[in-house]
Amino acid sequence: MSDPNHRIVNAGRLVTQKNQELLINAFGRFHEKHPEYTLSIFGEGPLHEELAEKIRILNLQNAVCLEGRSKQLHKDICDAEIFVLSSDYEGLSNALLEAMMMGFPCISTDCEGSTDVIENGINGLLVHRGDEDGLVSALTLLAENAELRENLGRRAKETSKRFRRKEVCQEWAEMIERVEIRENKCD
């Protein structure tokens, strides 16, 4: 495989919902102009063989790796350059939040959850669900613009701070206090 610093990563179960097939197809097109990049997909699931076959059909065996499940994902992806979430639907994706916390520039489909944390062009890039052309364009934009990668990654890390345990607990405590005050006024 190529330079590990030009690595794009994805993490999630290998199931239809996560739509890694879209990512592999888009990466194949992107890779034609950017052969220095590789794609690592972390996760296990029933679509492993189907995705492996897609990789073979597109002749991407030297550029795309189905890594399997990782017991130390942070360590395994820390040298990557870009994180991509290609899901058709999500809640609030833990993988996306973790990538943002690590300071990765992130590309995500505009599924619910992602749109709650990513402001397109501010702290990440959003593409329409199932939009292969849009994903190729987003990958190309980040690959060709180091300053944008750096800015999106920095802002993603800043955004992710509001999802740390301490901040979430503080928000819950404040919300409970407001409810109690309201209830006391109603008594």
In a domain, 16, yes or no: yes
The amino acid occupying position 10 is N
* pLDDT in the model for residue 136: 99
Q: Which domain range does residue 58 map to?
A: 4-162
Residue 102, domain CATH: 3.40.50.2000
Percent helix, strand and coil across the chain, each rounded to 5?
55, 15, 30
Q: Which residues pair with 84 in a beta bridge?
A: 107
pTM of the model: 0.85
Q: What region, left, alpha or beta, does residue 144 occupy, with left being phi > 0 and alpha being psi -120 to 50 degrees?
A: alpha
* pLDDT band per the 50, 70, 90 thresholds, residue 93: confident
pLDDT digits (tens, 9 = 90+) for 131-151: 999 999 999 999 999 999 999
The count of domains in the chain is 1
In a domain, 183, yes or no: no
In a domain, 181, yes or no: no
